[in-house]
A and B are shown apart, each in its own frame.
Chain A
Amino acid sequence: MEGLFWLVCTIAVYWGAKRLYRRVPKVYLTPLLVTPVLIIALIEIGGVSFDTYDSGSGYLTKLVEPATIALAVTLYKHLDVLKKNAVAICSGVICGAVVSIVTSVEMSHLFGLGTAITDSLAPRSATTPIAIAVSRSIGGVPTITAVATMITGLLGLVMGPYLVKWFNIRSSVARGVLFGTSAHSAGISKALEYDAVSGSVAGIAMMLTAFITLAVAPWLMSWI
């Protein structure tokens, strides 16, 4: 019963945050940032455990997969754009996925984060289920990877629009690859705010990133 309350509460806060964002579209007011902050505050005030919260709200998490699968429709509708830009998209994703692993590992070493954390951070650009699978295979801690992947999505969503503006990324295809490669599903939702082509390219980029991370990460990790 309490779980149900938190489910309704999450939806209500999200709905409010979304309306606020529509009226004041500032990056720091993105619902993905505002909603968790408010919910965490409510949980802390109410002295509720995460398990209680998740017993109801967890139903929302179960919709991530159907929503990701729904991208197949977008993909189908924009197939021609993807075919015509296949080489550019693949090149961008391969560069991005490799850079993601290398920079994560190098910086973790630099900051003296332990091996377990380093290995957990390496696959974080991939979509959560893939990132967790890779993390497990290279010796990371799946829970740290899950959190790091979420933070990556959140930060990608917040920083992406600034990079698009500052570096003058005008092509829809480039924007899609930028968001899909770096910030998985969260990136897709941001890419969709630009246009439908960006969104479907981001979907493709997310899938390719997942495959490449899966294939390359274990091999790359033994080199760096």
Chain B
Amino acid sequence: MKKLLKTILQIIAFIGIAQISDVIVQWAHLPISGSIVGIAITFALLQLKVIRVEWLESGSKWLIGEMLLFFIPAIVGIINYRSLVLHSGLWITITIICSTIAVMLCAGLVVQRLGRRNKEVVS
């Protein structure tokens, strides 16, 4: 019960950081998203030992673990683009499939190749 309460409080803390980040982005007219500002702020606070990692850990674990759920409504939103899907959907999908395969192979193989040469370190 205590653990559940702790997780909920930590999730609320992350929501708070997100809101603050959005305000900063709007106020300073930054060309980047609130999530990147939020990551930077949280990371800096952890790195500077202002906050301890235990204060955010279980909330972070839950949010990341259930991330897929948060994308569902956006995907369902595709029903608003019926005509686009009917007209160009097939070609758009083929483009995305081929391009994504190219990106994955390029990124993955470059890192694997470089890692092997430099004796990549994985803890």
Q: Flag whether A217 is at the interface (Cβ < 8 A).
A: no
Determine the residue in chain B with the shortest Cβ distance to A163.
B104
Give the number of residues in B that approach A within 8 Å (Cβ atoms): 77
Please, which residue of chain B has its CB at the minimum distance from the CB of A57? Answer: B73
A57, A151, A174, A175 interface centre (most CB from chain B within 10 Å)? A174
- Option from A57, A72, A182 in Cβ contact (under 8 Å) with B107: A182
Specify the chain B residue showing the minimal Cβ separation from A99: B106
CA distance A188 to B118 in the complex (A): 25
Chain A residues with Cβ under 8 A from B34's Cβ?
Answer: 65, 129
A interface residues, tally (CB under 8 Å): 108
Tell me how far the C-beta of A99 lies from the nearest C-beta in chain B, rounded to whole angstroms: 5
Give the shortest distance, in Å, between B15 (CB) and chain A (any CB): 5
Q: Would you give the 0/1 interface string for B66-104, flagging 1 where the beta carbon is closer than 8 Å to chain A?
A: 111111111111111100100010011111111111111
B59 proximity list for chain A (CB < 8 A):
70
Note all chain A residues with C-beta closer than 8 A to B21: 65, 69
Binary contact readout A24-55 vs B (1 if CB under 8 angstroms, 0 otherwise): 00000001100110011001100000100110
Q: Which residue of B lies closest to A124 (CB)?
A: B96
Pairwise interchain contact A93-B60, C-beta atoms closer than 8 A:
no
Q: Determine whether the beta carbon of B100 is less than 8 Å from that of A156.
A: yes
The answer to whether B76 and A43 have CB atoms under 8 Å apart is: yes
Residues of B within 8 A of A43 (CB): 76, 79
B9 at the A interface (CB under 8 A): no
Cα–Cα, bound, A39→B71 (Å): 13
Can you list 9 A-B pairs, Cβ within 8 angstroms, ordered by A? A36-B76, A85-B115, A92-B106, A92-B108, A103-B99, A133-B31, A133-B33, A185-B71, A186-B71
